[in-house]
Amino acid sequence: MYKVASASEYLVITGAGIPDIRIAKKAWILPGQSYTVFDVSPVNYTFEVQAMSAEKLPLVLPAVFTIGPRVDDESSLLKYAKLISPHDKLSHHVKELVQGIIEGETRVLAASMTMEEIFRGTKEFKQEVFEKVQLELNQFGLLIYNANVKQLVDVPGHEYFSYLGQKTQMEAANQARVDVAEAKMKGEIGAKLREGQTLQNAAKIDAETKIISTQRQGDGKKEEIKAGWAKEAQVAEVEANKAVALREAELQRRVEQMNALTQTEKLKAEFLSKASVEYETKVQEANWELYKKQKAAEAYLYEKEKEAAAQKAGAEAAFYGRKQIVDGELYAKKKEAEGLIAVAEAQGTYIRTLLEALGGNYGALRD
């Protein structure tokens, strides 16, 4: 059997071949399997949460929460399918569950704050309530799509917020009266300032008029004084021009003297430079001649040394040859003498042997 869920619904399938549950928009329902359909559209829950502040003052928090399954998270859908979908989303059971979470978190948070903190920080208080409630709803796979918390109201018999409102109104009224008084004071002071400024401006205009009149009376004397100053200025200008001309003549004379000295020094330098160049040239030429003569002498000496060395080598060779000849002759004489000695010794041995054989008879030997 093939089943298809509507746009705001899901199929929850259990049974054969499914270890836990399976959520789908459309699926085949096989034999041994069962399914249910749950709606994921959000629901509005309206509450009036009663809580107490840290001073044990009661308060009522009217709120409207739009809550539904979190459809963008599969694990949240699984939690919702297991825990909430067996009950109708409009059932008393689901409403009590949501209301219990909201009231519990609101009461815990309110008990940690004073009434003044709750009243002054209403926006922050509401935001913290939403965050803590959402944290608890996550375990059921639920999401707060929207939350609208109305103005905090008093519990009957406890008019704290109404008194705070009256206090605020009285403070605003008092501030308004103070503002009116300050505006009135500023108006009166401004009027007096305007009157004073008018009188000051009139006195200022009168004084300026008198000054202008006095200035006009003194214009004639001023012109005379200016004429005298102009004459003195002309005289001073002529004297200054003369002084400048004298100074220019003096400077021109010094410039000409310096030019003459400079020209003289230049000529001296040129003459000295020319003489130095000629001297250096002569010195270089003399050094070159000396160098050539030294090299010629060194070459001549080298040739003589080579000749002497050759002669020495020839003499040594001749001496060596002569020595070899003499040594050869000496060796031949020596060998000849040794031969004669050997012959003599042989003859002596022979004669001695004969004498011994003849019994030492030398006469018989001669015969």
Both structure tokens of 186: 């500023």
Q: What is the pLDDT of residue 156?
A: 64
CATH superfamily of 40-158: Band 7 domain (3.30.479.30)
pTM: 0.41
Distance CA 101, CA 131 (A): 12
Q: What is the pLDDT of residue 222?
A: 66
The DSSP 8-state label assigned to residue 20 in this structure reads S
Q: Which residues pair with 46 in a beta bridge?
A: 64
Q: What is the pLDDT of residue 161?
A: 55
- For the chain, give every domain's residue range: 1-39, 40-158
Q: What is the pLDDT of residue 60?
A: 79
Q: What is the pLDDT of residue 276?
A: 64
Both structure tokens of 138: 């996550």
Distance CA 189, CA 184 (A): 9
Each residue's pLDDT expressed in tens, for the chain with a length of 367 residues: 888 988 888 888 888 888 888 888 898 888 898 888 888 889 888 878 777 777 777 777 788 888 888 888 888 888 888 888 777 767 788 888 888 888 888 888 888 887 777 767 667 878 888 888 889 889 888 898 888 877 665 556 556 556 665 666 677 767 777 777 787 888 778 778 888 788 888 778 877 877 777 777 766 666 776 777 777 778 777 787 877 778 887 888 887 888 878 777 777 667 666 756 676 777 788 788 888 888 887 888 888 888 878 888 777 877 787 788 878 888 888 888 888 888 778 877 877 777 777 776 666 656 5
Q: What is the pLDDT of residue 178?
A: 79
Residue 212: count other Cβ atoms within 10 Å of its Cβ. 9
Q: Which one, of 11, 17, 5, lies nearest residue 35 by Cα? A: 11
Q: What is the pLDDT of residue 18?
A: 87
Distance CA 59, CA 104 (A): 14
